[in-house]
Each structure stands twice: as structure tokens, then as C-alpha cells.
């Protein structure tokens, strides 16, 4: 059996891993390496437990610091593991520092790289993850793409034969786990002090963790002012990076409609997606899930990350400004019932098929 080392480190990667690993392990020996980038129980362990993801074979415990420090420390440790394991391939997901560190460690050892969620582009290096995407795609041997726009971006960069449109594993996960919800997952929501909270009957679901929106009081407060002005309460599970700031702003400004909670597990999150009225986010994953669930979404960001979601104004960009967010939330949207550009819910199977064909020599390795 061929050996594949999979490198993950951040919350959205655990979700993609859950669906891909289940299929991959039928035909390959998978060695799972967790860089440690996300490490709190509710940013990491909860996903492994609730989504039946096998325990990582390695946890490198690398987190925090500047992007350069984090990436550098990851590469050093990943190289050691890869030298020990000598895999036939390295598998990475998405665009985090863990993704690029894995890819750089592998390419230097001559290990072919399979990049899942390849071809995603924002078109600006101002976005901290863009360099991770561009570098990983440049050195990957196999590009597995979620949507047609990803294929176009890669083609424009001269990458053709190694590109396979397989669909979005996030859509696989959404379909698989949405069918297995029973409401108990909503009882796990707690406030920032860890006390259980009662979910309002009707609500908006918000997440915001991008450093561009949350590292300054002014921007986060503009977002809060918009949510406070709405007719219904907002449920906001807060990423650890901005919990203290969010709690302080809500306390100082006396906001009453914003329910701050600890980060929730994936099943709880998609349950919130399915039950919410509308979604406000800066998350790449959540804006797609809003689209999967046919919920209007406002993405607080300057750049389009998933062009397909913008059809019919289902997903609209807004600046971190109260009036712009409210205007976008009030704009009518139209979902086309038959438009599903994220695949058929079997991206994981297609991913593993593409890997098998790669080893059979039919995969067209890019140079």
C-alpha cells in the first residue's frame, strides 16, 4: 500500500480531512500530521471527536508567532517527519500556513504534493493566505479543484494537465453531517464563560476572525453596530484571537442583541447555518455553507474568494461599516434552485480517484 502523509493544522482543514480521510484510508496508508496551529479544545479536538477523525500520528505543537516564525518552525519539524516516514505523496488542504509549510517541506525532498482546494485566488497578496495558495499551487503535482473558477485561475497561470475539478469537500461534509443532526448539537453552545446558553428562536449567524476586521476596535465595533441595529439577535461564536476584544466592546457599548459564544463544533456550526435567517461572516468556509443552505450571506471583506456564491447576490461583499452591512443585508437575493457549482457531494471519492490515477501514471504530473 502506498503511503500518504497528510498535513493539517487549522479548523477548516479538519473538516475537509474528515471526509477525505474516510475514503483515502480504504486504498492508502495515511500518516496524519497535525502542525498544532490550532490547539484549543474547541478549535481542534472537538472536530476530531465529533467527526470521527483518526488521532494524528504526529502533533508538532507549532502555533503563534509571526507568520514567518510559525511557517519556519513548521517546515523544520515537518522535514524531520517526512524524512522519517518517506511517503509517496504529501496531501494538503486549503491555504493556511500549515498548508504552505507542508508543501515547502515536501518539495525539497522530492515528494509529490497533492493540493486539495487548489486554484482558489483572491488576486491580491494583501490577503495573508494568498501567498500560501500561490506557492502551494506552483509546486503541487496534483491540483484538485472545488469549482470552475478555480480551474480558470490555474489555467490562466499556465497549469492545465494536473488540474482536476472534483468538487468541494466542504460540500461533502455539509451534506453528510447535515443529514445526521438531531438538535442535540445546539445544546452544546456556551457563552464565553463556558455557561450553557439558550438559543433564540430566530437569529442571524455571524463569524468574524480575519485579522483585517478584528484587530482594531473600530472595525469590529462597526460590525457590532450593524448587528445591534437588526430586528433579531445575532449568534456569534468568537475565534480565540478576538474573544477578549469582542467581549470588551460588547460590555463597553452595552450591546444586547449580540450573543457571544465560545467556538462551536462543526455539527453545531452547520446546525446554526441551517437554522439561521441570514449569515454575516468573513470566513471562506461559512460563506460557502450559507450558499449550500440557501441562506443570504454578507461577507465582510474587500475581495471575492468564492465567485460562484455571488450569483443572484446570494453572497455580497460589504465593508466593515455599519451602513454598508445593513444595506447589503436588506438587498433582495435570488437563489437558483438548480445551480450547484460545488459538486455533487462526492468530492472525497473523486479526490482519491485522482490520486490513484496519478500513481497509475494517468494523472499528468506538472513540472
Question: Which residues contribute to the site for ligand UDP (CB under 6 A)?
Answer: 11-12, 15, 207, 237, 263-266, 269-270, 283-286, 289
Of 84, 68, 59, nearest in space to 7 by CA: 59
Contact between residue 213 and residue 238 where contact means Cβ atoms under 8 Å apart:
no
- Residues at the contact surface with ligand UD1, assessed by CB under 6 A: 10-12, 37-40, 43, 63-64, 67, 95-97, 128-129, 209, 240-241
User: Residue 350 binds what, of ligand UDP, ligand UD1, none (CB under 5 to 8 Å, by partner type)?
Assistant: none
Indicate which residue of 115, 143, 164, 209 is catalytic. Answer: 209
CB of 296 to ligand UDP, least distance (A): 16
Encode 20-54: b = buried (16+ Cβ within 10 Å), e = exposed. bbbbbeeebebbbbbbbbbbeebbbbbbbebbebe
Cα–Cα nearest to 14, from 170, 149, 158:
170
Which are the contacts of 350, defined by CB distance < 8 A and separation ≥ 6? 144, 164, 166, 167, 343
Q: Which does 264 bind (CB under 5 to 8 A by kind): ligand UD1, ligand UDP, none?
A: ligand UDP
CB of 88 to ligand UD1, least distance (A): 26
Residue 240 Cβ, how far from ligand UDP at the closest point, in Å? 10
43's contact among ligand UDP, ligand UD1, none, with CB below 5 to 8 A by partner kind, is ligand UD1
What strand order describes the sheet that includes 204-207? 258-261, 234-237, 204-207, 279-281, 297-300, 315-318
The listed partner (ligand UD1, ligand UDP, none) that binds 63, CB under 5 to 8 Å by sort, is ligand UD1
- Residue 196 phi, psi (nearest 5): -60, 145
**Cβ 78 to ligand UD1, closest distance in Å?**
14
DSSP state of 148: H
* Structure-block grid coordinates of residue 165: 475539478
* 115: its cell numbers: 493540493
DSSP H helical ranges for the chain: 11-24, 45-50, 67-85, 97-108, 130-139, 148-156, 169-178, 211-214, 217-228, 243-253, 266-275, 284-292, 322-329, 347-359
CB of 263 to ligand UDP, least distance (A): 4
Q: Rounded to an integer, what is the distance from CA 128 to the centroid of its chain? A: 14
Give the one entry of ligand UD1, ligand UDP, none that residue 309 binds, where binding means its C-beta sits below a cut-off of 5 to 8 angstroms depending on kind: none
Neighbouring C-beta atoms of residue 135, cutoff 10 Å: 16
276 vs 287 by CB, closer to ligand UD1: 287
Q: Closer to ligand UD1 at the Cβ: 285 or 341? A: 285
Residue 84 has a CB neighbour count (10 Å cut-off) of 10
Q: Which CB sits closer to ligand UDP, 341 or 363?
A: 341
- The least CB distance from residue 19 to ligand UD1, in Å, is 17
Closest approach of Cβ 224 to ligand UDP, in Å? 17
Q: Reduce the DSSP state of residue 351 to 3 states and report it.
A: helix
- Active-site residue, 34 included: no
Active site (catalytic) residues: 209
Amino acid at each position: 500500500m502506498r503511503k500518504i502523509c497528510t498535513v493539517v493544522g487549522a479548523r477548516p482543514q479538519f473538516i475537509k480531512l474528515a471526509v477525505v480521510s474516510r475514503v483515502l484510508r480504504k486504498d492508502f496508508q495515511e500518516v496524519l500530521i497535525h502542525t498544532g496551529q490550532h490547539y484549543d479544545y474547541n478549535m481542534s479536538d472537538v472536530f476530531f471527536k465529533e467527526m470521527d477523525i483518526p488521532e494524528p500520528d504526529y502533533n508538532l505543537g507549532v502555533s503563534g508567532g509571526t507568520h514567518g516564525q510559525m511557517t519556519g518552525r513548521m517546515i523544520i519539524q515537518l522535514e524531520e517527519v517526512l524524512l522519517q516516514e518517506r511517503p509517496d505523496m504529501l496531501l494538503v488542504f486549503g491555504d493556511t500556513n500549515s498548508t504552505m509549510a507542508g508543501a515547502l517541506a515536501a518539495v525539497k525532498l522530492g515528494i509529490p504534493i497533492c493540493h486539495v482546494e487548489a486554484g482558489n485566488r483572491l488576486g491580491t497578496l494583501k490577503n495573508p493566505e494568498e501567498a500560501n495558495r500561490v506557492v502551494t499551487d506552483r509546486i503541487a503535482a496534483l491540483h484538485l479543484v472545488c469549482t470552475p473558477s478555480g480551474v480558470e485561475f490555474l489555467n490562466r497561470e499556465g497549469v492545465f494537465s494536473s488540474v482536476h475539478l472534483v468538487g468541494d469537500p466542504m460540500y461533502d461534509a455539509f451534506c453528510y453531517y447535515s443529514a445526521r443532526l438531531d438538535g442535540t448539537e445546539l445544546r452544546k453552545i456556551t457563552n464565553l464563560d463556558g455557561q450553557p446558553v439558550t438559543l433564540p428562536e430566530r437569529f442571524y449567524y455571524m463569524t468574524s476572525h480575519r485579522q483585517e476586521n478584528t484587530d482594531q476596535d473600530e472595525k469590529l465595533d462597526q460590525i457590532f453596530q450593524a448587528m445591534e441595529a437588526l430586528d433579531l439577535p445575532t449568534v456569534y461564536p468568537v475565534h480565540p484571537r478576538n474573544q477578549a476584544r469582542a467581549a470588551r466592546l460588547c460590555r463597553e457599548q452595552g450591546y444586547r442583541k449580540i450573543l457571544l459564544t465560545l467556538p462551536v463544533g462543526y455539527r453545531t456550526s452547520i446546525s446554526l447555518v441551517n437554522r439561521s435567517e441570514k449569515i454575516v461572516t468573513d470566513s471562506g468556509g461559512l460563506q460557502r455553507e450559507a450558499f449550500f443552505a440557501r441562506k443570504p450571506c454578507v461577507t465582510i471583506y474587500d475581495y471575492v474568494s468564492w465567485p460562484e456564491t455571488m450569483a443572484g447576490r446570494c453572497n455580497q461583499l460589504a465593508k466593515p461599516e455599519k451602513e454598508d452591512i445593513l444595506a447589503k443585508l436588506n438587498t433582495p437575493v435570488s437563489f437558483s434552485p438548480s445551480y450547484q457549482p460545488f459538486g455533487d457531494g462526492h468530492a472525497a471519492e473523486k479526490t482519491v480517484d485522482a490520486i490513484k490515477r496519478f500513481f497509475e501514471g494517468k494523472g499528468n504530473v506538472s513540472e
